[in-house]
Structure 1
C-alpha cells in the first residue's frame, strides 16, 4: 500500500510541477530558472510543514510528503540548469541560483517545520 501512496503522490507532484513550470514561464522571461527555484522552495516549505505536522511514518506523509513533494520538487533539473548556466558563461547566475536553491530550500524547510508545530 505504501508504494501505491508514494507512486500516486509522485505522479500527481510531477504533473503539478509541469503545470506550474508552464505557468511561471508564461509570465517570467529571462535566463534565471525562476520556475524550478519556486517549485523547489515551495516543496521544501510544504515538506517541512508536513513532517512537523504529520510525522514521517504515516500514510498521509507517504502520499503528500514523499510522493507529492518528491514528485513536485526536482534536484536533477536544478543541477542541470546550474550546469547549463555555467556552460553558457553565466557564472554569476549559476552561483546565485545554486545558493538560492540550497540556502532558500533549507530556510523554507525550517519555516515549514515551524509552521507545522503551530497547528
Structure 2
C-alpha cells in the first residue's frame, strides 16, 4: 500500500476520533451520562454517513479509504459493521449477516469481559 494512502487513512482516523469526542461531550453536557447518548448518536450518525459515502465513492479509492476507513472508522466502528452486514443481506446471505451481528455483539461483550478479567478489573 502506498504511503499516501496510509497517511490519508491516519489523518481521517484522527479527524473521526476528534469528531467522536466532540459529539460525545456535547451529548453528555446536554443530557448527562446516565445513558450513553453520545455513543448512540455517534453510532447511528456514523451508520447513516457511511451509507451515504459508500453510495457516492469509488470503492478502494484513496478518498473512499480516507473517509470510510479513516474518518468513519475513527468516528465509530459500528458504521463499518453496519455497512458490511447490509452488504451481506443485499447479497442474499442472510445467515451470514445474522452470524455477523450475533458474533460481533456476543463475542464483543465476551472480549470486553475477558479484557477486564485479564486487567484485574472484574
Please list every run of 5 or more consecutive structure 2 residues that lacks an aligned counterpart in the other structure: 87-122
Cα distance in structure 1, aligned partners of 2:62 and 2:31: 36
Cα distance in structure 2, aligned partners of 1:30 and 1:23: 11
Match of 2:34 in 1: 31
Please list every run of 5 or more consecutive structure 1 residues that lacks an aligned counterpart in the other structure: 76-104, 111-119
Cα distance in structure 2, aligned partners of 1:16 and 1:25: 14
Runs of 4+ in 1 over 2 A off after TM superposition: none
User: Which structure has the larger Rg over C-alpha atoms?
Assistant: 2
Report the 3-state secondary structure (helix = DSSP H, G, I; strand = E; otherwise coil) of the residue aligned with 1:3: helix
Task: Provide TM-score, normalisation by structure 2.
Answer: 0.58
Match of 1:113 in 2: none
Task: Provide TM-score, normalisation by structure 1.
Answer: 0.60
Q: How many residue pairs were aligned?
A: 80
Structure showing greater relative contact order (alpha-carbon pairs closer than 8 Å, 6 or more residues apart):
1
Cα distance in structure 1, aligned partners of 2:44 and 2:29: 19
Cα distance in structure 2, aligned partners of 1:14 and 1:106: 18
C-alpha deviation, 1:46, in angstroms? 0.8
Match of 1:45 in 2: 48
Cα distance in structure 2, aligned partners of 1:35 and 1:56: 29
Report the 3-state secondary structure (helix = DSSP H, G, I; strand = E; otherwise coil) of the residue aligned with 1:31: coil
Report the 3-state secondary structure (helix = DSSP H, G, I; strand = E; otherwise coil) of the residue aligned with 1:55: coil
C-alpha deviation, 1:55, in angstroms? 2.9
Cα distance in structure 1, aligned partners of 2:58 and 2:36: 32
Match of 1:8 in 2: 11
Within the candidate set 67, 72, 75, 2:75 is matched to 72
Match of 1:56 in 2: 59
